[in-house]
């Protein structure tokens, strides 16, 4: 994890020369597992919450694919979820949540109903069907396998799970896109045991920016493949007025051990979208289904955590996880998807 710098200028959190490290599993009570299909680049990632976590959600994109998000409305009955699934495969990928439900039911984890349980598993999907065989997408078995692989050990990043088929920089068409991926990061608030973690699958129509420098890391390539087109600058110049294909969406999860209720977690999810905006531009478009879930395991000994503080930290951690997603990704030359590594030559530590 990035060291905290203190002194006359105060404390620097993720604003120095290195990206935040860590993983969402640094949050007590959270496990993370991935299943990546071998037959084409796609997969799913599951965040397991032990016996349950309070959850909120905020959907900003105009083309979302989700499951069980209505349950997370603060006015609705269910208080806890037992897992969250992120998946490729567009709407077909929601089937992977059925495998997560089966895994949890087998272990007696879920909302008690009579003699059994009903596991509560919200999910969100991204559109990666244009990368390889359209008919191959995560199914219930993929979700089940992701659960079997879930661990509290640090996670792989890049071309894994829900990030396997992700791409970015698609406003001018897939011919100019680059490889997206899955990233994760965490931060522990100094002097406390409060941890804030993020995991995100980055599949944006927009470009991905380095939150430390605001320079483009991966995005729409310029004609000829040298450098970036800079989507925002091109749009400001009147280019690209035709609608891009809807093969997009960035989906992620914030988790903390600080105790919060559903309404507070919805606000934290809203604030975490600032991290999307710092690292992706354009973002929350008509062609994305951008969604963030927020989870609280409530395992911290600090019982007076502030929503604004945790939400602000969540946004910073999320922005760094997004950068890690593309910087850890590897190219898919068979689909003409170069990666950041091809431009910069190495991956972050």
Domains of the chain by start residue, with CATH: 24-344 (3.60.70.12)
β-pair type (216-218, 291-296)? unpaired
Confirm if 168 and 208 have CB atoms less than 8 A apart.
Answer: yes
pLDDT in tens, 148-195: 999 999 989 999 999 999 999 999 889 999 999 999 999 999 999 999
At residue 245, the pLDDT reads 62
Radius of gyration of the chain (CA): 19
What is the C-alpha to C-alpha distance for residues 132 and 46, in angstroms, rounded to an integer? 23
Q: Is residue 166 packed enough to be buried (19+ CB in 10 Å), middle (13-18) or exposed (0-12)?
A: buried
Confirm if 179 and 331 have CB atoms less than 8 A apart.
Answer: yes
Strand partners, 36: 43
What is the C-alpha to C-alpha distance for residues 348 and 279, in angstroms, rounded to an integer? 16
At residue 243, the pLDDT reads 58
pLDDT in tens, 189-198: 999 999 999 9
What is the C-alpha to C-alpha distance for residues 119 and 24, in angstroms, rounded to an integer? 21
Confirm if 313 and 13 have CB atoms less than 8 A apart.
Answer: yes
Confirm if 31 and 242 have CB atoms less than 8 A apart.
Answer: no
Confirm if 194 and 283 have CB atoms less than 8 A apart.
Answer: no
* CA-to-CA separations, 160 to 65, 178, 189, 329, in angstroms, rounded: 20, 16, 28, 9
Extract the residue ranges of the chain whose pLDDT is less than 50.
1-15, 346-349
At residue 304, the pLDDT reads 76
């Amino acid at each position: 994890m990035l060291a905290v710098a203190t002194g006359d200028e105060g404390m620097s959190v993720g604003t120095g020369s290195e990206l935040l490290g860590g993983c969402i599993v640094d949050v007590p009570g959270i496990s993370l597992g991935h299943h990546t299909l071998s037959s084409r680049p796609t997969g799913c990632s599951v965040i397991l919450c032990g016996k349950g976590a309070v959850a909120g959600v905020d959907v900003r994109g105009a083309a979302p694919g989700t499951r069980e998000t209505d349950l997370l409305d603060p006015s609705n009955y269910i208080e806890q979820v037992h897992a969250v699934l992120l998946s490729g495969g567009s709407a077909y990928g929601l089937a992977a949540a059925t495998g997560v439900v089966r895994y949890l039911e087998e272990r007696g984890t879920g909302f008690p109903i009579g003699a059994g349980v009903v596991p509560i598993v919200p999910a969100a999907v991204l559109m990666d069907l244009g990368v390889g065989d359209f008919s191959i997408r995560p199914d219930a078995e993929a979700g089940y396998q992701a659960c079997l692989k879930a661990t509290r050990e640090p996670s792989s990043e890049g071309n894994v799970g829900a990030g396997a088929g992700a791409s970015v920089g698609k406003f001018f068409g897939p011919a100019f896109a680059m490889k997206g991926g899955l990233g994760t990061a965490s931060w522990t608030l100094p002097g406390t045991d409060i941890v804030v973690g993020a995991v995100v699958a980055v599949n944006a129509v927009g470009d991905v920016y380095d939150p430390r420098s605001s320079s483009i890391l991966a995005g729409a390539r310029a004609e000829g493949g040298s450098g970036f087109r800079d989507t925002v600058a091109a749009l400001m110049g009147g280019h690209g007025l035709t609608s891009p294909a809807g093969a997009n969406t960035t989906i992620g999860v914030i988790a903390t051990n600080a105790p919060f209720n559903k309404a507070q977690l919805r606000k934290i999810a809203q604030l975490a979208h600032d991290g999307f905006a710092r690292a992706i531009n354009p973002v929350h478009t008509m062609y994305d289904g951008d969604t963030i879930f927020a989870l609280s395991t409530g395992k911290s000994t600090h019982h007076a955590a502030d929503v604004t503080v945790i939400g602000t930290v969540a946004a910073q951690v999320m922005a760094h996880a997004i950068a890690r997603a593309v910087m850890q990704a590897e190219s898919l030359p068979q689909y003409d998807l170069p990666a950041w590594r091809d431009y910069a030559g190495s991956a972050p530590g």
